[in-house]
Amino acid sequence: MWLLCSFLCFILISSTIADTCRNPTLVKHSGYSSTDSFFHAKTAIVIEFSVNCDHPVKEYPLYWEYEGDVHLAAQLPTGLHYQITFVNDHKKIARGQYDIRIFDEEGFAALRKAMRSKVDTNEAVKPIFTVSYYHPGSSGREIQKKKTKNSMKHLECFDIILNSETNRIFAGTVLSGHLVIALTVPIRIGQLVVALTGEMRTKWVDKVSENIFDSVEPIVNFKTQMYLNERGTDDPVEPGNYSLPFQFTLPLHLPSSFQAEFGFIRYVCFATATILPGQTCSIGTTKQCKEFKVEKEINIVDVVRFQDLRHVGRQRPVQAEECFELIGCCRKQGRIEALIRLDEGVFLVGDTVLAKLEIQNCSRRRPLRRCSLFLLQEALFHSQSFHGTTSSNRTLVKVLDVASLQLPQPGDRFSQNVELHIPENTQPSSLDAPLIRLRYRLKLDLGDSCELILPIDIASVRT
């Protein structure tokens, strides 16, 4: 009997030790926050972090504390991965760094004891580690709420936070984020959907014929159903802060986001919450509604590689040359010879285009003004009429960079290297787009309708 009791005690102690994380260390952490105070009544911050132990454990409760506010960190089902979510007024979550202290169960007990004793918890209790996140702040004017007798803010926060430090998402990658919801009272939510849609559209009115040209091309349409309680039930959701992760795998090639006078390529990630009848869901008002929606426009960049563009005919080096005859007072006044040479016809977004210019003034005319070398973006739009009987095209030209030069004197010749910069937010050249196509050119403007054009291509990735 004594041996049996000793054996059981040994098993109990061994299992207790095995379920305890020894030497917990912070592996990695990341944070995301809402930054638009115009469309959202509250600011939400989501922080995720991972922990490593000397030996594997399945469950390891951790607690987080910030300025005296203590909560249990949500452990994700994928292992020792945790999530922290807190929501507050925009003014209370200002721009700056937030240091969140993390405690295990022993540290949590010591922290609560120190708080009851009203001592300085920062000095009395040390965390196992600290996770930090810098919140860039909220932009835009804050929502002005109307005060009513029965003003109730049942849905304090309903926002989409993307897991990306920038708003530029490349095609072929995974678009992921969190749907953050903060409830102050129990609410029955019938349906909760997060979706990603994209479309290409061209539209204009012909001023001569007054025909309406309007064409729409769907690009993507992804949807995912989410749940705050058990799947298939419509029980009221308890008050609290909720952060629901989502992700969409983007196709390898998608037209880059673009917007201009005659059309756009637009991607929108949105979430809708269907509130069951009898529930008040609007912010700052008692008006009943059936659906609450939030959306965030996504900037998609197509994956256009150097090799893809070289296959369409851009050899290196590339050049363009032309001889322009100058005519004035009903007679020839000579000619101007111009040449543009590039070592490479394909460039990367953010690169500097180094162009070698050679201009020879073989005319008798003294130059009256300077010449210019332009880096141009040309957007070509195609659309069908409203009834589909006719089609029409439009072109918009945008100057990305320009350099001014002095024309040589009559009889002179000069060579000069000119640098033009491709902006970081430039869309890559279009590979295949039915309605909107983007292309790029260098244009040397010599005046008197003398223009030399050299097409180039812009890639978004090198390999």
CATH 3.30.420.40 fits 306-459, yes or no: no
Highest mean pLDDT, choosing among 38-52, 168-182, 192-206: 192-206
- The residue-averaged pLDDT of 386-391 equals 80
The whole-angstrom separation of Cα 269 and Cα 300 is: 11
pTM above 0.85, yes or no: no
Q: What is the pLDDT of residues 78-110, one digit of tens each?
A: 788 888 887 777 777 888 888 899 999 999 999
Q: What is the pLDDT of residues 144-166, one digit of tens each?
A: 444 333 333 567 788 888 887 67
Residue 327: phi and psi, rounded to 5, are -125, 130
Query: Nearest-CA neighbor of 431 among 260, 304, 314, 258?
Result: 304
DSSP secondary structure, 243-269, as one string: EEEEEEEPPS--PPPEEETTEEEEEEE
Residue type, 442: L
pLDDT value at 140 more than 80: no
Please report, for the chain, the start and end positions of each structural domain, with discontinuous segments joined by +: 25-135, 155-278+287-301, 306-459
pLDDT for residue 117: 86
Q: What is the pLDDT of residues 311-345, one digit of tens each?
A: 555 556 788 888 777 665 555 667 788 899 998 88
10 pLDDT tier (thresholds 50, 70, 90): very low
> Any idea which residue has 């101007």 for tokens?
336
> Any idea which residue has 């787009």 for tokens?
433
The whole-angstrom separation of Cα 462 and Cα 307 is: 8
CA distances to 4, 14, 304, 429, 455 from 311, in Å: 78, 65, 12, 13, 15
pLDDT for residue 44: 80
Structure tokens that stand for 96 in this block: 């700056």
Question: Which residues lie below 8 Å from residue 390, measured CB to CB, with a gap of 6+?
Answer: 211, 384
Sign of the C-alpha dihedral computed for residues 138, 139, 141 and 144 taken in this order: negative
The whole-angstrom separation of Cα 340 and Cα 171 is: 34
pLDDT for residue 307: 78
CATH 3.50.40 fits 25-135, yes or no: no
pLDDT for residue 315: 55
Lowest-pLDDT choice from 24-38, 96-110, 113-127: 24-38
Fold match between domain 155-278+287-301 and domain 306-459:
yes
285 pLDDT tier (thresholds 50, 70, 90): very low
Domain formed by 155-278+287-301, architecture: Sandwich (2.60)
Residue 3: phi and psi, rounded to 5, are -65, -40
- H/E run at residue 93: none
307, burial (CB in 10 Å: exposed 0-12, middle 13-18, buried 19+): exposed
Question: Which residues lie below 8 Å from residue 98, measured CB to CB, with a gap of 6+?
Answer: 45, 66, 132, 133, 134, 135
291-301 vs 168-170, strand pairing mode: parallel
Structure tokens that stand for 241 in this block: 């802060």
The whole-angstrom separation of Cα 24 and Cα 229 is: 31
- The residue-averaged pLDDT of 178-198 equals 87
Q: How many residues does the structure list for the chain?
A: 463
User: 455 by DSSP, 3-state: which?
Assistant: strand
Q: What is the pLDDT of residues 336-377, one digit of tens each?
A: 888 999 988 899 999 999 999 988 887 766 554 568 999 999
CB 129 within 8 Å of CB 24: yes
The whole-angstrom separation of Cα 55 and Cα 14 is: 13
Q: List alpha helices for 186-237, DSSP H.
A: none
